[in-house]
Amino acid sequence: MRLMVAGGGTGGHIYPALALIEQLQRVEPETEVLYVGTTRGLENQIVPKAGIELRTMEMQGFKRSLSLDNFKTIYLFMKSVSTAKKWLKEFKPDVVLGTGGYVSGAVLYAAAKLGIPTVIHEQNSVVGVTNKFLSKYVDEIAISFEAARSQFPSDKVTLTGNPRAQQFLNAAGDEFSWTQVGLRDDVPTVMIFGGSQGAPKINQSVLMALPELNQRHYQVVFATGQKRYDAFMEQLAGQPIADHVKIVPYIDNMQTKLSHVQALVSRAGATTIAEVTALGLPTIMIPSPYVTANHQVKNAQALVDAGAAEMILESDLSGTSLLEAIDTLMLDERTQRQMAGKAEKSGHPHAADDLIAVMKQAIAKHQKSRG
């Protein structure tokens, strides 16, 4: 298969695409891929490291207020559509996949106008502006949350889940021992992780809960975020840290370590939800209030409704509320087992394969229409 992928800006658009590409190349080794991203997005660092050809174009979003910048946005979009048509004619993809971001809008619009099979993948429960725009033009739409279905033309939608789930599950069996970081493998462990940059309110709540966490019989692994580690340690001001509590700037090799914890405290991004449901991991979700359309709350609510997670709104977060939620999971094995089972049932362990099937469905639709 010849696949062109468009998506960029944030990891939430990039990692599902890379997971899909990895699985496609596993089942079809002759697959050729061209990734189209933005000049300033994270894809410039991530995609080349994955050994995938990357081409970029300049894009920007609309300003909500009246602004001359919006004229530039329209100009860049039209220019990008023209560039995309040129690249599409050169690469001749069998199908084009969009995973989100403004660049996805230009590339998939161009592909649709050229009569090339097109598919978009929506990671969140609240549909992004670009995917709403593209839904009128593309052949197929894959969603990660059932709640997104009603926001699209119903005859185009397939629930696949997030391809990151299948990729994460494939890597989760790697060997690991907590003794490598001075902990024990025979003691239940909770991980607290507010994202790669950390989350100030989560960090402050952990700081307030630390005296009690020092007294618990379960282990705690807490990542402050790279940029916030020094400030957090200064705030401790000599406060003791028990041997069973580990405070680190960042947690690498996450997929392996998550398969060795009993519960997680985290944000509610689409990628995180794909990962925890793939593993069947009980999770306390603290949605970020700083995202478009408050979509993390809606992402988390889908799992809460299924009994697969607990949620604490950041406005309700404190050392006390965090400690109570963690204790509920870590000290009650029955609750932990029930939530783990419901989290696993909410997952999509074959998400990448299902998205590949949707892409082939789009190709077949075009072949059928041509007679």
DSSP string, 218-259: SEEEEE--GGGHHHHHHHHTT----TTEEEES---SHHHHHT
C-alpha 333/C-alpha 104 separation (Å) is 44
Handedness of CA 215, 221, 225, 230 (dihedral sign): positive
What tokens appear for 148 in the block?
């997104």
Residue 11 annotated as part of some ligand binding site: yes
Smallest Cα–Cα separation from 81: which of 53, 102, 52? 102
Residue 148 identity? A
CA 85 to each of CA 91, 92, 154, 222, 277: distance values in angstroms, whole numbers, following the listed order: 10, 10, 28, 47, 38
Residue 131 annotated as part of some ligand binding site: no
DSSP H or E stretch at residue 96: strand 95-100
Residue 82 annotated as part of some ligand binding site: no
Phi, psi of 155, rounded to the nearest 5 degrees: -75, -5
Contact 360, 31 (CB under 8 A): no
Residue 247 annotated as part of some ligand binding site: no
- Contacts (Cβ under 8 Å, ≥6 apart) of 240: 214
Total residue count of the chain as it appears in this document? 371
CA gyration radius, the chain: 22
Residue 296 annotated as part of some ligand binding site: yes
C-alpha 42/C-alpha 358 separation (Å) is 26
Q: How far apart are the first and last CA of the chain?
A: 21
| DSSP at 98 | E
Dihedral of the alpha carbons of 255, 125, 299, 268, in degrees to the nearest 10: 50
DSSP H or E stretch at residue 308: none
Smallest Cα–Cα separation from 84: which of 60, 47, 116? 116
Residue 57 identity? M
Q: Which residues are annotated binding-site positions for UDP-N-acetyl-alpha-D-glucosamine?
A: 10-12, 124, 196, 251, 296
Q: Which residues are annotated binding-site positions?
A: 10-12, 124, 196, 251, 296
